[in-house]
Structure 1
Amino acid sequence: MTKVIPQQQTTAAFAVQAAISFALSLGAMVVGVAYLPVGAWVRAFLAVGLLYVVTSAFTLAKVIRDRQEVGQVVSRVDQARLDKLLAEHDPFKVEGM
């Protein structure tokens, strides 16, 4: 029997906290790279690296979310099949009569 897990919704406060945290950390890194006492090529390399880390983090989050949604859909389909089998099952039915 498949276990149905209720979908949890995030609160608005959690979403705001996550957005502020992301903005602060990204801003701190941008300021840090901008004021680093190194040449322009090193600064550009670090900026491109930072951009790559941010975009790959978004991609990873999307992949994880998509896989979770697929798992929930499969779970719902399995639950619907089980519900149908249980609804059609008659324990008092005698075979062959």
Structure 2
Amino acid sequence: MVALMTKSTTGAFFAQAAISFGVALVAVAAGIVFLPVSGWVRAFLALGLLYTVTSAFTLAKCVRDRQEDSALTNRVDQARLEKLLAEHDPYKEPAL
């Protein structure tokens, strides 16, 4: 039997990514609402937008990794079931 070693993201990293995305989104929204025409505020908005985009990619990676982990587990379970069904012979005499 081969042991499968998979790397998975921890719950804390997943939570950090989700919180980071939320904070970035709120920061950009606040920047848009209170946007005067000064250059410093526009720079703040650009920085917030950059942070939002990178946080979105991190969150998407976490979601994808979690989905791949569950898909791999389901495939392994399906392969084990198919092996058991292939080896089962209903007409074989039980051993006494």
TM-score range relative to shorter protein: 0.5 to 0.7
Residue 37 of structure 1: how far off its partner (Å): 5.1
Where do 5+ consecutive residues of structure 1 fail to align?
1-32
Q: Which has the higher contact order (CA 8 A, sep 6+)?
A: 1
Using the alignment, how far apart are the partners of 2:55 and 2:81 within structure 1?
39
Q: Percent identity?
A: 70
Between Structure 1 and Structure 2, how many residues are aligned?
64
Number of the residue aligned with 2:38: 39
TM-score, with length taken from structure 2? 0.55
Q: After TM superposition, where is structure 1 displaced by more than 2 Å over at least 4 residues in a row?
A: 93-97
Where do 5+ consecutive residues of structure 2 fail to align?
1-31
AA partner of residue 60 (structure 1): L
> Cα RMSD (Å) of the superposition?
2.2
TM-score, with length taken from structure 1? 0.55
Number of the residue aligned with 1:87: 86
Number of the residue aligned with 1:5: none
Q: Which secondary structure does the structure 2 equivalent of 1:83 belong to?
A: helix
